[in-house]
Amino acid sequence: MITLFKNAELFSPFYEGKKDVLVAGKTIIAINDQISAPADLEVEVVDCNGQRLIPGLIDAHVHITGGGGEGGPGSRMPELEVWMMVEAGVTTVVGCLGTDGITRSVDSVLMKVKQLKAKGMSAWMYTGAYQVPPPSITGDFKRDIALIEEVVGLGEIAISDHRSSVPTTSELAKLAAHTRVAGMIGGKAGIVNLHMGDATDPFRPIHEVVENSELNYKQFVPTHCNRNYYIFEDAKEYGKKGYVDITTSSYPYYADEEVKPSTALRQLLESGVPIGHITFTSDACGSLPGFDPVTGKLVKLEMGLPDSILREIKDAVLTEKVPLETALQVASSNPADILKLEGKGYIRKGYDADLVLIDDDFNVLRVMANGKMVK
């Protein structure tokens, strides 16, 4: 299969101007000002005049087998479906377990990753869940990371939250150190994805690990860093040292509690946080619970979707006046670099052909995943 995208306004995610992009099989084989379709080959030509060609988005925190359960069996969320990704312009996901590492298994996450790959999308995963010690596939999370190609790290481990296992500094340091070494052995990122809860001084467990070990801040990706105003204020300083992940799908469900992701991006940049330290993820198919602060009772429950990422990128550009090439990095090149997702996150010669065409209003017009047109 050969496809030629003509006259696209190319963001790779960096602005490249008007370009043609030639795809053969699953790979981008040429990018130039003008490319002519080979006369002796059957080529699908896509006229992109007036449209923007961007990398397929990477959603690096998705409960692909469904999340939730905090409100009993009726509060379990459904699995991620391919159409959810396609409509959102997402071509790559990283799956994880969350609160329920008890009745849901890491094995099922791995099989869901394999299903998504079999359907033409790209997928990786974290082993583990909120709990410490973390559940695993092989009986040892270190072996999962080192031996299973789809496993990029450990997570999401819960800290600073009433649903966490309250890991000590020593326990958290050992998890991070073992994850790092397993990642080195397996050629993986070896990242620990951390669920950040509502406790005050939420980054303190990470600070204590760094202060009392040889590990550094970039060993961790703390997520939900916009979940309330005080964690976000701390994130403005923390993000200068390590990564901060902003959850997009919980807005507008919790507009009175959370910092809107598009606004968070602008404010993080204004605070001096490097753009390469910031990611957007949807938390899709995970539950978005609300608890009574006095009784701890679950009082509301929502579910996120992947399309929240592009929505917040749009608002960052149109409302917060963040340049498009900057805003796109939080869901393309940044997660690809942080998690070492080979061939992903960029529109470059030799990279996988994960491409999305959008119009000026950020509507998703066409989606190519691994060289196959899926929308």
* pLDDT tens digits for range 200-238: 999 999 999 999 999 999 999 999 999 999 999 999 999
Strands 2-11 and 52-55: what pairing?
Answer: parallel
Cα-to-chain-centroid distance, residue 38: 37
Q: Which of 68-82, 290-304, 311-325 has the lowest mean pLDDT?
A: 290-304
List the domain boundaries for the chain. Answer: 2-54+346-373, 57-339
Quote the tokens at residue 200: 């005050």
DSSP lists the bridge partners of residue 372 as 369
> What pLDDT, on the 0 to 100 scale, is given for residue 161?
87
Give residue 341's pLDDT: 98
Q: At 16, list the tokens.
A: 């490249």
> What pLDDT sits at residue 76?
85
pLDDT of residue 259: 95
pTM of the model: 0.94
Query: What is the tens place of the pLDDT at every residue in 39-89?
Result: 888 999 999 999 999 999 999 999 999 987 777 887 788 899 999 999 999
- Structure-token pair, residue 82: 């391919």
Mark whether 283 is an active-site residue: yes
The residue-averaged pLDDT of 165-181 equals: 96
The answer to whether 299 and 290 have CB atoms below 8 angstroms apart is: yes
- Residue 291 scores a pLDDT above 70: no
Using CA atoms, how far apart are residues 130 and 193, in angstroms rounded to an integer?
Answer: 10
| Mean of pLDDT values over 287-311 | 78
The CA-based angle 248-339-14, given to 5 degrees, is: 70
Choice among 100, 283, 307, 352 that is catalytic: 283
Distance CA 76, CA 287 (A): 8
User: Where in 206-314 does DSSP place strands (E)?
Assistant: 220-223, 244-247, 278-281, 287-291, 298-303
| Among 176, 185, 246, 180, CA closest to 207 | 176
CATH code linked to domain 57-339: 3.20.20.140
> CA torsion sign, 129 to 149 to 184 to 326?
negative
Report pLDDT for 7. 96
Taking 80 as the threshold, does the pLDDT of residue 294 lie above it?
Answer: no
For residue 298, the model assigns a pLDDT of: 64
CA distance 144 to 142: 5
SS3 176: helix
Q: pLDDT tens across 321-357, in order? A: 999 999 999 999 999 999 999 999 999 999 999 999 9
Is a pLDDT exceeding 80 seen at residue 35? yes
Closest CA to 319 of 244, 254, 251, 265: 265
**Tell me, which fold does domain 2-54+346-373 have in CATH?**
Urease, subunit C; domain 1 (2.30.40)
Please give the Cα distance from 177 to 185 (Å, whole number).
13
pLDDT of residue 250: 80
Angle at CA 110, nearest 5°, toward 196 and 227? Answer: 15
Q: Which residue carries 């470059």 as its tokens?
A: 348
Greater model confidence, 82 or 100: 82
CB atoms near residue 248 (< 10 Å): 31
Res 301 pLDDT > 70: no
Mean pLDDT comparison of 281-295, 300-314, 334-348, highest-scoring range: 334-348
